[in-house]
C-alpha cells in the first residue's frame, strides 16, 4: 500500500482526489487494434534539481530508473524553465509560450489562471481525437488556475507541503486509467510532488543519504531547515547540517525514481511501452544556499531554472544521439510532443520542436532562454545564451539591478561581472530589452484573467462546493 505523507498543520485541509470530466462526460474516442495506439506522456517531477540525478553526474543519486530512461532516450544538458516556481513554469509547458503571454503569474497566494484566449496542449490532443488524462498534485496545478483545460479526466489533489498524494499512488492511478482505455491514443500529464518540501522520504529511502542522523526528524519543513542557519540566520547551515538537508531531499528523489520505474514497468505490462513517447522534466529546481537563499520561487539562478529534460521515444534508443548540449527551453516541449504525434502546433506556441535534436538533423541557431517571475520578493527576469547569463532585478533601475555571469568560466554563477564587463552587459541588455518589448506588445493583446485567491480558506470552500456536486467522493465526516 502506498504510504501517504500527511502531517497535522493548522492550515491542513486533507488531500482530496478531484476527477473532472471537462465539458461534461467523456466523448467517444476512436479505438485502434491493439498494437497501433499511441501514448504520449509529459512527466513533471516537481522541484527536481538537474544535479540530483545520476545521469546528470551525481554519483550516489540512486536514480537508476530515470538514468535508464536517459540511456534509452536523449538527455538535454542545458534545458531552461521559464520560471523558478510551479505555476508559470508548468503553464509554459502546456501553452508553449512565455509567462507574460499565458498570464499564469502572481504573488504568494494571489494568482491568475492561464488565459482562456490561448490553446493548451491537452486541447490540441483532444481536438485531434486523443484521450487526455491528467494526474496532478498541489494547489498550483489547480483547476481554479486553468490547469485542467482540455482533459477528459483531470485527477487532482489540492495538497500543500505537508499533505500530498505520494508518487507511487499517483502513478498507480494513472496506470489504472490507461488500463481502462485499450486501443485509444492517449496524452497523459503526470505530476509528482514528492521532492517538494516537506522533505519526508519513506522508510528505506533516507538512510543511504544521511547515515544514522535523524535530526530534525522527517518530515523536515522549511521552518526546520531555516532554523539550521548560523549566525542569527545570516549564514547558511554548517556543512554537516547542509548535507543532511540535501540528503533528506535526495531520499525523496530516490523514491520518485522508484515511481518512475513503476510507471515504465506498468506500461510494459499493459503492452504500451513500445508505442510510448515520454518527456521527463521538472518545473524548477531547489536552492540549497548557493546564492544565500533556500527553496525556490525567489531567484532565477541555474539551481532553479536549469532543469532535467529527458526525451524517450519508441525509436530513440536506436539512434546515435543520446546527449544534447545546445541550449533548449521548456516552451519547446509542447511543440516536440505534437511533432512526435504528427500534429501541428497552434500559432501561439512560440517554442520549437526538439525532434531535430533527437534525430541528429541540423537545428540552426541556438535560441536564447528567457525566464521570469518570482513567487515572492522582487520581480526578476533572466536572459541566457550559451556563454552568458543576464539577471535583471526589475525593482532596481540601471546597472545596479543587473547581474552578469560568464557561464563557461563560472558555471556556479559566483562572480557578477556586470561592472567589469560593461560591453558584454550592454550588448546583452539591448538584445534582452528588444525581446521583452516585443513580448510585452504581443502580450498586451491577451486578456489577463481574474485573480484567484489560492489560500487555504478559498480552497476549502472550493472543495466543499465540489462535495455538494459529488466530485470528490469525500466522506461526510472527513
In the chain, what are the domains?
15-367+461-469 (3.40.720.10)
Which residues have CB under 8 Å from 133's CB, separation 6+? 151, 152, 153, 155, 174, 177, 178, 186, 187, 188, 189
Q: Which of 154-163, 258-267, 300-309 has the lowest mean pLDDT?
A: 154-163
Residues in the chain: 478
What pLDDT sits at residue 431?
97
* Cα–Cα distance, 1 to 175 (Å, whole number): 15
DSSP string, 261-312: HHHHHHHHHTT-GGGEEEEEE-S---EESTTS-EESSS--SHHHHEEEEEEE
Looking up cell 467517444 gives 28
In this structure, what C-alpha cell is assigned to residue 416?
557578477
- pLDDT beyond 50 at 12: no
- Within a 10 A sphere around the Cβ of 396, how many other Cβ atoms? 12
Give the residue from 257, 355, 367, 364 showing the smallest Cα distance to 311. Answer: 355
Considering the chain, what percentage of its residues have pLDDT values greater than 90? Answer: 79
pLDDT digits (tens, 9 = 90+) for 275-291: 999 999 999 999 999 99
Q: What pLDDT is stored for residue 462 in this prediction?
A: 63
pLDDT at 66 over 80: yes
Res 16 pLDDT > 80: no
pLDDT at 27: 60
Question: Can you tell me the mean pLDDT for 442-471?
Answer: 74
Tell me what pLDDT residue 469 has.
Answer: 43
Question: Per-residue DSSP letters for 14-69?
Answer: ---EEEE-TTSSPPP---PPTT---EEEEEEETT--GGGSGGGT-TT---HHHHHH
Q: Which residues pair with 163 in a beta bridge?
A: 6, 160
Distance CA 265, CA 171 (A): 11
Mean pLDDT, rounded, for 258-282: 97
Chain centroid to Cα 112, Å, comes to: 18
Q: Which residues contact 111 (CB under 8 A, 6 or more apart)?
A: 87, 104, 105, 140, 145, 451, 452, 454
Kindly state the DSSP code that residue 318 receives in the 8-state scheme. G
What average pLDDT does the segment 348-368 reach?
91
Q: Cα(442)–Cα(143) distance, rounded to whole angstroms?
A: 26
d(C-alpha 251, C-alpha 136), whole Å: 21
Segment 222-229 shows an average pLDDT of 95
Q: What is the mean pLDDT of the chain?
A: 89
* List of E strands, 346-401: 369-372, 380-384, 388-393
pLDDT at 56 over 60: yes
% of the chain beyond a pLDDT of 70: 88
The pLDDT assigned to 2 comes to: 42
- Give pLDDT tens digits for 129-182: 999 999 999 889 999 999 999 999 999 988 666 678 999 999 999 999 999 999
Half-sphere exposure (Cβ direction) of 448: Cα atoms closer than 13 Å: 14
Q: What is the structure's pLDDT at 109?
A: 86
48 or 24, higher pLDDT: 48
* Cα–Cα distance measured from residue 204 to residue 402, given in angstroms and rounded to the nearest whole number: 45
How far apart, in whole angstroms, are the C-alpha atoms of residue 61 and residue 45?
15
User: Residue 130 in 3-state DSSP?
Assistant: coil
pLDDT score at 29 = 72
Nearest to 15 by CA among 170, 158, 200: 158
pLDDT at position 160 is 64
What's the pLDDT tens digit per position in 404-439? 999 999 999 999 999 999 999 999 999 999 999 999
Residue 419 burial (CB < 10 Å; 0-12/13-18/19+)?
exposed
**What is the pLDDT at residue 25?**
53
Amino acid at each position: 500500500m502506498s504510504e501517504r505523507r500527511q502531517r497535522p498543520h493548522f492550515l491542513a485541509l486533507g488531500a482530496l482526489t478531484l476527477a473532472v470530466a471537462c465539458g461534461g462526460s467523456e466523448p467517444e474516442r476512436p479505438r485502434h487494434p491493439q498494437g497501433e495506439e499511441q501514448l504520449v506522456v509529459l512527466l513533471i517531477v516537481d522541484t527536481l534539481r538537474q544535479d540530483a540525478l545520476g545521469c546528470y553526474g551525481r554519483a550516489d543519486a540512486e536514480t537508476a530508473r530515470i538514468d535508464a530512461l536517459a540511456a534509452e532516450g536523449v538527455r538535454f544538458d542545458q534545458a531552461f524553465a521559464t520560471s523558478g516556481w510551479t505555476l508559470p513554469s508548468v503553464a509554459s509547458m502546456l501553452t508553449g509560450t512565455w509567462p507574460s503571454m499565458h498570464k499564469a503569474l502572481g504573488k504568494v497566494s494571489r494568482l491568475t489562471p492561464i488565459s482562456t484566449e490561448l490553446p493548451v496542449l491537452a486541447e490540441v490532443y483532444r481536438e485531434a481525437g486523443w484521450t487526455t488524462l491528467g494526474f496532478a498534485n498541489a494547489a498550483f496545478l489547480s483547476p481554479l488556475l486553468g490547469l485542467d483545460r482540455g482533459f477528459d479526466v483531470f485527477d487532482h489533489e489540492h495538497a500543500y507541503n505537508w499533505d500530498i498524494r505520494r508518487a507511487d499512488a499517483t502513478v498507480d492511478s494513472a496506470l489504472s486509467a490507461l488500463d481502462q482505455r485499450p486501443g485509444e491514443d492517449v496524452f497523459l500529464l503526470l505530476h509528482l510532488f514528492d521532492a517538494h518540501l516537506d522533505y519526508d522520504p519513506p522508510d528505506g529511502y533516507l538512510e543511504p543519504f544521511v547515515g544514522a542522523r535523524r535530526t530534525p526528524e522527517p518530515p523536515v519543513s522549511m521552518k526546520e531547515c531555516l532554523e539550521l542557519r548560523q549566525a542569527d540566520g545570516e549564514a547558511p547551515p554548517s556543512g554537516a547540517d547542509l548535507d543532511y538537508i540535501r540528503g533528506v531531499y535526495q531520499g525523496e528523489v530516490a523514491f520518485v525514481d522508484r515511481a518512475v520505474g513503476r510507471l515504465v514497468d506498468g506500461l510494459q505490462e499493459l503492452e504500451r511501452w513500445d508505442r510510448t513517447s515520454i518527456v521527463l522534466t521538472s518545473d524548477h529546481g531547489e536552492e540549497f544556499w548557493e546564492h544565500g537563499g533556500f527553496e525556490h520561487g525567489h531567484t532565477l539562478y541555474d539551481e532553479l531554472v536549469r532543469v532535467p529534460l529527458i526525451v524517450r521515444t519508441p525509436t530513440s534508443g536506436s539512434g546515435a544521439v543520446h546527449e544534447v548540449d545546445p541550449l533548449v527551453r521548456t516552451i519547446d516541449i509542447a511543440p516536440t510532443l505534437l511533432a512526435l504525434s504528427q500534429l501541428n502546433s497552434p500559432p501561439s506556441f512560440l517554442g520549437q520542436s526538439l525532434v531535430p535534436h533527437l534525430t541528429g538533423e541540423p537545428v540552426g541557431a541556438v535560441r536564447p532562454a528567457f525566464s521570469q517571475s518570482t513567487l515572492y520578493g522582487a520581480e526578476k527576469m533572466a536572459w541566457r545564451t550559451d556563454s552568458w547569463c543576464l539577471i535583471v532585478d526589475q525593482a532596481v533601475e540601471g546597472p545596479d539591478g543587473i547581474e552578469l555571469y560568464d557561464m563557461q568560466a563560472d558555471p556556479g554563477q559566483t562572480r557578477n561581472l556586470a561592472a567589469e564587463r560593461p560591453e558584454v552587459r550592454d550588448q546583452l541588455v539591448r538584445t534582452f530589452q528588444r525581446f521583452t518589448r516585443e513580448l510585452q506588445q504581443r502580450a498586451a493583446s491577451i486578456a489577463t484573467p481574474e485573480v484567484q485567491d489560492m489560500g487555504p480558506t478559498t480552497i476549502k470552500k472550493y472543495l466543499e462546493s465540489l462535495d455538494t456536486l459529488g466530485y470528490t467522493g469525500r466522506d461526510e465526516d472527513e
